[in-house]
Structure 1
Amino acid sequence: MRVSLIVFFMINLCFAYGQSIEKNTPPENLLIPYKAGVVPDRIILSLGSNTESERLINWRTDTTAKEQYIEISEQDGSVDFYKKKLNFKAESKLFVNLQNDSAYYHQIKLHDLEKGKKYSYRVGYEGFWSPWFDFEVESQNGDFQFIYLGDAQNDLLPLWSRVIHNAYKQASNSTMILHVGDLINHSQNDYEWAEWFHAASPIIQKIPQVIVPGNHEYIKDDDGNKLGLSPFWDAHFNFPKNGPSELRNQAYYFDYGNCKFIFLNSNEKLEIQASWLEKILENNEKNWTIIMFHHPVVSGASGRINEGVLKNWKPILDRYQVDLVLQGHDHVYGRGNEVISGLDQWNEYTGTVYVVSVAGRKMYPLGNHPWMQKKAENLQTYQIVTVQKESILFDTYKTNGDLFDSFEIKKLTNGDKQLIERLPQQ
C-alpha cells in the first residue's frame, strides 16, 4: 500500500505544471465547496465486468478519514433493513491536487450480488457516514433501457445539471448512464470536478455510470499537446480492468443481457485498441453490439477530422457489422447509417448507425457532411435507448422533453439491419 501511495502521489506531481495554473484554479466565488471533508463525497456507482453480480463504488474524504468502509444490506422495504448490513473495508489512496489540498480516494468492488434483488449502501466511518443509497441488480432476462449523454464540459451546475436530471426523470428505470467524455473543461481543476459530481448527484449514486475519456480529461501543454490522462480519472472512477494493459481503466467491455458494450479511449494508442477490439468482436456471440468512444469516426461539426479513428477503427466496425456507435466531441447532433470514409478500400455499407450528441452548453457550427440523416446545432439533448430482442429503439430529447429524433434498428433474420424512422418526415 505504501508503494501505491507514493506512485499515485508522484504521478500527480509530474503532471502538475502541464497546464496553466490559472485554468486549473478554482474561481474566487465558490458556488459549492470543492475541498474534501470528513463526510464522504464524490460517491459514484459503476458496473463490474460481470454485470450480473458486481458493482464498483468510489468516494472521497479528507485525510482525517483514511480508513473507510461500506455498509450494504438487502433492501426488504422495512424500516430496519440496515440492521442486517454487511461491512467491508475499502482500498484507499492519497491524492494531492494542484493547490496542495490532500484527500483520500476510496474504492470497493462488490461481488456475489444476486440478480433481481435491491440493495442499500452507505460509505464512511464512525459517525461520518453518507446517506443510504439504493440500487438494483436487474435480472437481464428481457428488454432494458439506458441513457446516453454527450459532452458536458461547461456550465455544469447551471445548464448541464438539468439535462441529466431531466433524462433521469424520464427514464428512472434505466440500467446505466453512458457518458461519452469531456465531463469537465480543465482536467486538473478540482472545482470543475466538484461541479460535475454535484450536478449529477444523487443520480450517480443510484444508477451505474459508464464513462470514456475525452480530450478534456487529458493534461495538455500550452500548445494543446496531450501529456497524459488526468490523475483525477483513476481517483474518481473504477471500471472493468479487461482492456489493453496500457489503457487500464480507460478501455474495457462488458455484456448486459443480449448486448455487448465496448468502450474505447480515442485519445491515444489507437492501433493497440484496434487489435484488442478485433479479438473481442471475433468471439462476440451477443445479438447486439454497441461501442462508445469520444472522437467521431466522421465529424458532424465543420472543419474537424479524426483520421486516426477513421483509419484504425472503422474497418473493424464495418467488418463485424457493429450495430450502434455512440460518440461526442463535436458539440452538435448528428445521426446516420451511411458513414463513408471516402477511402474506397472496404465494404462500408453495413448499416451501422453512428450518433454524435452534446449534453452541455458549448456548441460548434454544424458541418454539411452527407452522412447525417438527422442533424442539429445549438441543441442540448439526452438520449434514451431501449434494447429489445430484435430491435434497438433510440429516442433523442430536447431539454424541454420534446422528442427531436427517433429511430429503430431492426435485426433481420439474415443478420442485416434495417433503419426505421419513427418520426414523421418534416
Structure 2
Amino acid sequence: RLVESGKPITPRYSFYSAPDPTSTDFSFVVVGDSGMDNPEQFAIANLMAKEQDARFFLHTGDVVYPAGALGAAVAEYNRRYFKPYAELLKRVPGFPVVGNHDLYGLYGAPFKQAFVLPSNGGGALFSELFYRFDWGDATFLALETNTIFRLGSGPHMSWLEDELKTAKKWVIVYMHAPLYSAGKHGDSSTLQSNLESLFEHEGVDLVLAGHDHDYERSVPIKQFNQDPSYAGLVHVVTGGGGAALRPVNPTPRTHLALSAHHYLKVTIAGDDLHGEAIDVNGQSIDRFTIRDQ
C-alpha cells in the first residue's frame, strides 16, 4: 500500500518474496518482445495475471518499441511495461533482460533507469545488463546477447563461468538474441561458438530467448546438432508478447515453430521441469518436460 501524507492512496496488496533456498517446487511465466502497448500485449498480460501460482516473471527483452529514449524512459516503460503488467506486478517481481530496442541511447541507460535489477554482473558500465538470481533450488542467469556475449572472451565470460560453477540444481539461462532460431533473424553462429559448449559442460537445463516474434522449441541439441538420446539442451524462443508476428522457417534443429502471440509458463517440481506455451486465446500450443539429470 502506498501512503501519502499519512493517508493511503492505493489498496493493500500482498507480494511474493523468494522462498527458502531449499524449496524445490514453484512456477513462473515468461514473455518477450511485447512493448507495443497494443491489444495483443494486454491480452497476453491479462492471461499471465491469471496464473495465480506464478511467483515471478521473466521478460526476454524488447520491453519497449521502437526505443526508450533517455529522459522519456519513465513514460515509455510505464506505458509499455508497468501498465500492461500491473495486475501481475502487484504480487510478483519481474526480471527483464535487455533487448536490442531497449539498448538504444546511452547503452541501456533508459532500461537501467526504469528498473532496479541485480547488480552482481557487468561491473559499473554494464551493471544490470547481465546478472544472476536464485529462486529456491534454481539459478537464473540473464545474459545480454545483443553485444556483450558476442565477444568471445573477457570479464563477462569469466563471470558466466564462475556463476555456472556455483549454480544450483536447476540452471535456466535467458537472453534476447537466441543461439538457435527458425525466425527472421535465424541462428547466431557467434553465440553458438561462445556459449553452447559452456552450457553443455556446466549442465544448463533450459535456454530462453526472444528477438524473433514467434514461438519456437528446439529439439534437444548437443554439439550443435540434434541429440538422439534426448539428453541435449532445449532452446525456447518466446518472442510473441505483442509485437507484430513474423513467418517461421523450421530448420533441422526445430521441433516446433509457430507464428503466434503467446506466453510461456514453467513449473519446476522436484526432478522435473514442465513448460507450457499458451496463446492469446488462452489455448495451449505446446507442452514439454525436462528431467534433471
Would you call these one fold, judging by a TM-score over 0.5?
A: yes
Change (3 A) 1:142 1:317: closer
- Which segment drifts farther, 325-334 or 294-303? 294-303
The one of 199, 213, 217 equivalent to 1:317 is 199
After superposition, the CA RMSD in angstroms is 2.4
Amino acid at match of 2:142: F
8 Å CA contact 1:395, 1:403 repeated in 2? yes
What is the match of residue 194 of structure 1?
78
How is 1:253-264 mapped onto 2 (pairs within 5 angstroms)? 253-264=132-143
Over residues 354-392 of structure 1, what are the superposed CA-to-partner deviations in whole Å (9 max), with x where a residue is unaligned? 100121131222122121111111x00111110011100
For residue 387 of structure 1, give the secondary structure of its aligned residue in structure 2. Answer: strand
Change (3 A) 1:249 1:408: same
For residue 83 of structure 2, give the secondary structure of its aligned residue in structure 1. Answer: helix
4+ residue runs over 6 A deviation: none
Give 1:193 shift.
2.3
For residue 14 of structure 2, give the secondary structure of its aligned residue in structure 1. Answer: strand
The runs of 5 or more residues in structure 1 that have no matched partner are: 1-120, 221-226, 344-348, 416-426
Alpha-carbon separation, structure 2, partners of 1:342 and 1:262: 21
Over residues 96-141 of structure 1, what are the superposed CA-to-partner deviations in whole Å (9 max), with x where a residue is unaligned? xxxxxxxxxxxxxxxxxxxxxxxxx426555584443321335443
Alpha-carbon separation, structure 2, partners of 1:342 and 1:202: 40
For residue 253 of structure 2, give the secondary structure of its aligned residue in structure 1. Answer: coil
For residue 406 of structure 1, give the secondary structure of its aligned residue in structure 2. Answer: strand
8 Å CA contact 2:49, 2:87 repeated in 1? no
What is the match of residue 238 of structure 1?
116
Over residues 47-103 of structure 1, what are the superposed CA-to-partner deviations in whole Å (9 max), with x where a residue is unaligned? xxxxxxxxxxxxxxxxxxxxxxxxxxxxxxxxxxxxxxxxxxxxxxxxxxxxxxxxx
What is the match of residue 204 of structure 1?
89
Alpha-carbon separation, structure 2, partners of 1:333 and 1:365: 11
Output the TM-score relative to the length of structure 2.
0.86
Name which one, 1 or 2, has greater alpha-carbon Rg.
1
Does residue 136 in structure 1 map to residue 16 in structure 2? yes
What is the match of residue 214 of structure 1?
99
Alpha-carbon separation, structure 2, partners of 1:355 and 1:292: 9
Over residues 207-244 of structure 1, what are the superposed CA-to-partner deviations in whole Å (9 max), with x where a residue is unaligned? 11011000010116xxxxxx621x32222111111113
Over residues 171-213 of structure 1, what are the superposed CA-to-partner deviations in whole Å (9 max), with x where a residue is unaligned? 1121101110101112215554232222211321321101100
Q: Tell me the percent identity.
A: 26
Alpha-carbon separation, structure 1, partners of 2:5 and 2:133: 32
8 Å CA contact 2:38, 2:242 repeated in 1? no
What is the match of residue 158 of structure 2?
275
Change (3 A) 1:236 1:192: closer
8 Å CA contact 2:138, 2:170 repeated in 1? yes
Give 1:350 shift.
5.0
Alpha-carbon separation, structure 2, partners of 1:374 and 1:123: 49
The runs of 5 or more residues in structure 2 that have no matched partner are: none
Amino acid at match of 1:277: L
Does residue 355 in structure 1 map to residue 239 in structure 2? no
Does residue 390 in structure 1 map to residue 271 in structure 2? yes
Change (3 A) 1:392 1:127: same
How is 1:67-146 mapped onto 2 (pairs within 5 angstroms)? 121-122=1-2, 124=4, 129-137=9-17, 139-140=19-20, 141-146=23-28
What is the match of residue 163 of structure 1?
44
For CA contacts below 8 A with separation 6 or more, give which structure has more relative contact order.
Answer: 2
Alpha-carbon separation, structure 2, partners of 1:342 and 1:313: 11
8 Å CA contact 1:310, 1:341 repeated in 2? no
What is the match of residue 127 of structure 2?
248
For residue 409 of structure 1, give the secondary structure of its aligned residue in structure 2. Answer: strand
Alpha-carbon separation, structure 2, partners of 1:217 and 1:152: 12
Give the length in aligned residue pairs.
Answer: 277
The one of 33, 56, 78 equivalent to 1:176 is 56
8 Å CA contact 2:41, 2:241 repeated in 1? yes
Output the TM-score relative to the length of structure 1.
0.60
Alpha-carbon separation, structure 1, partners of 2:243 and 2:5: 38
8 Å CA contact 2:141, 2:173 repeated in 1? yes
What is the match of residue 266 of structure 1?
145
Change (3 A) 1:207 1:303: closer
Change (3 A) 1:302 1:239: closer
Alpha-carbon separation, structure 2, partners of 1:182 and 1:158: 17
Give 1:296 shift.
0.4
Change (3 A) 1:234 1:288: same
For residue 397 of structure 1, give the secondary structure of its aligned residue in structure 2. Answer: strand
Change (3 A) 1:205 1:319: same
8 Å CA contact 2:222, 2:232 repeated in 1? no
Change (3 A) 1:240 1:125: farther
Give 1:153 shift.
2.8
Give 1:303 shift.
5.2
